[in-house]
Amino acid sequence: MSDYLRDVSIMVVEDQEFTASLLRKMLRVLGASNVHMFTNGEDAWHYFKHNSVDLVLTDWQMAPINGIQLTQLIRKDPESPNTFAPIIMVTAFREREHVFKARDAGVTEYVIKPLSPKGLFSRLEAVIERPRRFVRVGEFFGPDRRRHHGDFKGPDRRGHGAPPPKKLDAAAAAKAKKQEMQQDEINTTFNPDDVDRVKAN
């Protein structure tokens, strides 16, 4: 494991000194020697445009460019040299609305703070060992989240295709947005195929 990331160029974007130091140490344990640290998305984006970057780890809440905006620049901006770069969001936000916003922006993996070496490594392993193909659907461009085996093809599972009353559906959706998610649940959201892979083992 000590040379797992030896040849990988990594960009870390984190404005909290403690977390940045922790990430640097964890990456060093995995053999990463080509790590470039930034405290905001603006400087990181400037670097990304003019250098070869294989992997991005970014915080969410930064100024003047936050992690979501940086992700969108990497994925969609004409100046982006690598729209397929794996992006791991590292954040304290665990509410469902934040997780899904990151997913819809094109984030590859999502790790919640406080960080653990095991948790970070599992997501690094996912993007390196099990890369997902990219899709463009409407305004979205990013990793394909669909299961590749056993997709549900029948009618709506909530009762033969009949939607619930709009007010109840809206209330349930609003409540769901605020619900906090555990890391395992987030991993499944970003990697649906992993569920099948674990079951197979």
More confident residue, 161 or 126: 126
Confidence band for 184, pLDDT divided at 50, 70 and 90: confident
pTM (global) more than 0.85: no
Can you spell out the DSSP letters for the chain? Answer: -TTTTTT-EEEEE-S-HHHHHHHHHHHHHTT--EEEEESSHHHHHHHHHHS--SEEEE-SS-SSS-HHHHHHHHHH-TT-S-TT--EEEEES--BHHHHHHHHHHT-SEEEESSP-HHHHHHHHHHHHHSPPPEEEETTEEEE--S-SSS---SS-TTTTTPPPPHHHHHHHHHHHHH-B--HHHHHHHH-THHHHHHHH-
Task: Check residue 195 and give its pLDDT.
Answer: 56
Confidence of residue 130 (pLDDT cuts 50, 70, 90): confident
With respect to CATH, is domain 9-147+174-200 assigned 3.40.50.2300?
yes
pLDDT in the model for residue 200: 55
pLDDT given at position 183: 86
Q: Chain-wide mean pLDDT for the chain?
A: 83
Where are the chain's structural domains? 9-147+174-200
What percent of the chain has a predicted confidence (pLDDT) above 90? 57
Question: Percentage of the chain with pLDDT > 70?
Answer: 79
Is the predicted pLDDT of residue 196 greater than 90, yes or no? no
pLDDT in tens, 83-112: 999 999 999 999 999 999 999 999 999 999
